[in-house]
Chains A and B, each alone.
Chain A
Amino acid sequence: MIELNIDNKDIIIRFKNITKKFGDFNAVSDLNIEIKKGEIVGFLGPNGAGKSTTMKMMAYLLKPTEGEIWIRGNGRLEKLSNHNKDYLLDNIGFLIENPTFYGNVTPRIILKYFAELKGYPKKQLNQRIEEVVEMFGLSKWIDKKIKTFSKGMRQKIGIASAIIHNPDIIVLDEPQTGLDPQARREVRDFILQLKKIGKTIFLSSHLLYEISEVADRIAIINQGKIVAFDTLDNLESKAKKSIINFELLDHPEKNNLNIVLDHLRDILAPFTGVSEKINEVNWINYKEEAKIFQILFNGDPKNQLIILKTLLRHEYKVIEFSVPKAGLLEDLFIDLVTTGSSHPSNSTINENQKQKEILVEV
């Protein structure tokens, strides 16, 4: 059991030793997460890992078999219970799984209903609805029946319904699922915008890139257990490797591609910082579709700089050079979810463990 530090004013949500069982099946086991005010926490895990179950427990749709959920309300952390759920959940906007809308109503009608349910002041209601719909670029559709909407538009209305009552905490369960790239980008931008205005966001997904693009910290869940919870940078450093993408002004021809690759291998091999064993694998690739080279390296910015300098010294006309955020974190994710819960990287638990140790000492 972890000790609670209820004076920590940064913490806005705390899952404490949460376990949820369905019969003999453990959907969530001893889950501990703390979410701080104003941050985006990504909740990452494969399908069936326990993400939605955790979010439903937070929404008080499911009761934890064991453990407690603490939510900040009126300046202090309070344990979520039947007694105070209405008041605590008032300040949270939920989008759980892929909701289906009533087709024969308009966004205006449904958003008005949801805002009213949450006690939004009537005088400001119409203005708020129009603003939120405008933020999603759906102003022209505000009085159209939802059955005429595309999947992406419906998902936007779903997110709008989560924020319509202007909550401080927003919980989004797989908000980008089923969306086309354009709509995904829009949702991502919107999430970042919400963070800018100080909202706290708890975002779940089974897609790494979806989370890594926006999250400050990532909790990885597998088979109901948190196997890692840390910042993206720390998790990447644990991955011990990352990827550089670069593009040349003159794309290599098919017949001389192997020559270029061999040359790059020769000049860059000493600077990747990855083990020889990995080096033996195909650590440099050319992605024909995207016209980019990909280099596996140790993620160290110094090596990144040396690689760039080396390329330029050898007169490669580099027009793009980047380290994608998700990088090879994907590998770490796959490692973690395949090796189970033995990874010792839950920094929050460690932090709490330290707190407990201090308390014991006192």
Chain B
Amino acid sequence: MVVGLKQEEYRIQKLEITRQKVGLRRDFMQISNTVTFELKKNSKKLYVMLFLYFSIFFLSFLMNEFLLDLMGEVAPTGSATLMKNYIIGFFPMALLISTAAFGGSIIAEDFSRQTGNLLFPKISKTRLLIGRLISNYILNSLCITFFYILVSITALIKYGEVNTAIFYSIGWALLYTLVLLSFVTFLSSFMKNTSFTIITSIFMLLIVMEMIPFILNYSGVTKNNETPMFFVFSYFGYIIGESLEMPIARYTTDLQGPPGAQFEISTWLTPNEFGAALGMIIYITIFLIFSYILYQRRQSKGE
């Protein structure tokens, strides 16, 4: 193995190096290096997710261009409505899947696959976590932007214009992605492995989070209750699509129940801008703080 021993010795001895000193600058460099490395590491995943978003777009395109007519639905009257149709269709599901796929490995992987033995103590957990969050967020944002570009091009071709509300929508989508990524990171901090984190995240976000408002509504707990669903964080995601054509009333009311015993239920369409921003920031903070604490505890147990 050791080819030309003396030559190698000479080479190594000649390499007198001056390492960058530890300190704030090194900390930032470590985060930046982690972002770069994670982007390279997840490049294949990015291509798969871009394909997923393209498939979702194509499916929405087929529905909007062909199925609406067949179903007798009214065709979109402007670019905002068209874009809304695309955004509220399969897009939220793609958002959940891509966030879970990118974020599922953030913490769990180091413990399940023992990759932590390679990384520590080369980098601290804090810097590693920040670097990974940034890189996974960038990757997810690229996918989202790609989808919005496809939608914008479609709107431009069809209506000759792109409604500027799309910028609000993409802004909300990017903020909501951070909520989802924080939630997935939180799950990743105590889950056994990446696959289990991804599956649990998708299950929680697609089923549990959707079921809670449904159960509350139909159980009568929220009867005549005008309190928004701020306790279900997926509710904040509704603003992504609705911000393209913000409804005047933020909820609809329907009569439910058998004749004679009917009751009124409120179905919340979207939070308002201030509530959405505040709620999402609170959720991001809570999830990330808990993730960090659990990550630290998990490490100190000597796993």
A20 → chain B, closest Cβ, in Å? 9
In chain A, positions 83-117 with a C-beta closer than 8 Å to chain B are: 85-87, 89-90, 94, 96-102, 104-105, 109-110, 113-114, 116-117
Please, which residue of chain A has its CB at the minimum distance from the CB of B43?
Answer: A104
**Inter-subunit contact A121/B2 (CB<8 Å):** no
Known A102-B115, A119-B21: A128·B121 in contact at CB below 8 Å: no
- Pick from B2, B3, B41, B301: contact of A102, CB below 8 A: B41
Q: Which residues of A have CB within 8 Å of B2?
A: 135, 186, 189-190, 193
**Inter-subunit contact B117/A104 (CB<8 Å):** no
**Inter-subunit contact B13/A197 (CB<8 Å):** yes
- Asked if B158 lies at the interface with its beta carbon under 8 angstroms from chain A, I say no
Number of interface residues of A (CB under 8 A): 50
- Pick from A98, A119, A131: contact of B11, CB below 8 A: A131
Known A99-B115, A102-B115, A105-B41: A59·B121 in contact at CB below 8 Å: yes
- Pick from A59, A99, A109, A117: contact of B40, CB below 8 A: A109
Known A118-B19, A118-B122: A100·B302 in contact at CB below 8 Å: no
B193 → chain A, closest Cβ, in Å? 12
**Inter-subunit contact A121/B17 (CB<8 Å):** yes
Q: Name the segment of B22-30, B149-157, B167-175, B197-205 touching the other chain.
A: B22-30
- Asked if B12 lies at the interface with its beta carbon under 8 angstroms from chain A, I say yes
Bound Cα distance from A59 to B118, whole angstroms: 12
Please, which residue of chain B has its CB at the minimum distance from the CB of A132?
Answer: B12
**Inter-subunit contact A166/B17 (CB<8 Å):** yes
B86 → chain A, closest Cβ, in Å? 32
**Inter-subunit contact A62/B17 (CB<8 Å):** no
Known A118-B19, A137-B1, A190-B2: A85·B8 in contact at CB below 8 Å: no
- Asked if B289 lies at the interface with its beta carbon under 8 angstroms from chain A, I say no
B9, B113, B121, B124: which has the most chain A beta carbons within 10 Å? Answer: B121
Q: Which residues of A have CB within 8 Å of B1?
A: 135-137, 186, 189-190
**Inter-subunit contact A61/B37 (CB<8 Å):** no
Please, which residue of chain B has its CB at the minimum distance from the CB of A196?
Answer: B9
Bound Cα distance from A100 to B118, whole angstroms: 8
Q: Which residues of A have CB within 8 Å of B115?
A: 99-102
**Inter-subunit contact A165/B118 (CB<8 Å):** no
Bound Cα distance from A89 to B19, whole angstroms: 12
Bound Cα distance from A99 to B8, whole angstroms: 26
**Inter-subunit contact B20/A121 (CB<8 Å):** yes
**Inter-subunit contact A135/B37 (CB<8 Å):** no
- Asked if B71 lies at the interface with its beta carbon under 8 angstroms from chain A, I say no
- Pick from B17, B22, B118: contact of A101, CB below 8 A: B118
**Inter-subunit contact B121/A197 (CB<8 Å):** no
**Inter-subunit contact B114/A98 (CB<8 Å):** yes
* Per-residue B-contact encoding for A29-66, CB less than 8 Å = 1, 0 else: 00000000000000000000000010010011111000
Sample of 21 A–B contacts (CB below 8 Å):
A61-B299, A85-B121, A86-B124, A97-B117, A99-B114, A100-B114, A100-B115, A109-B37, A110-B118, A113-B34, A114-B118, A116-B30, A121-B17, A124-B17, A158-B118, A165-B19, A166-B12, A186-B1, A189-B1, A189-B2, A190-B1
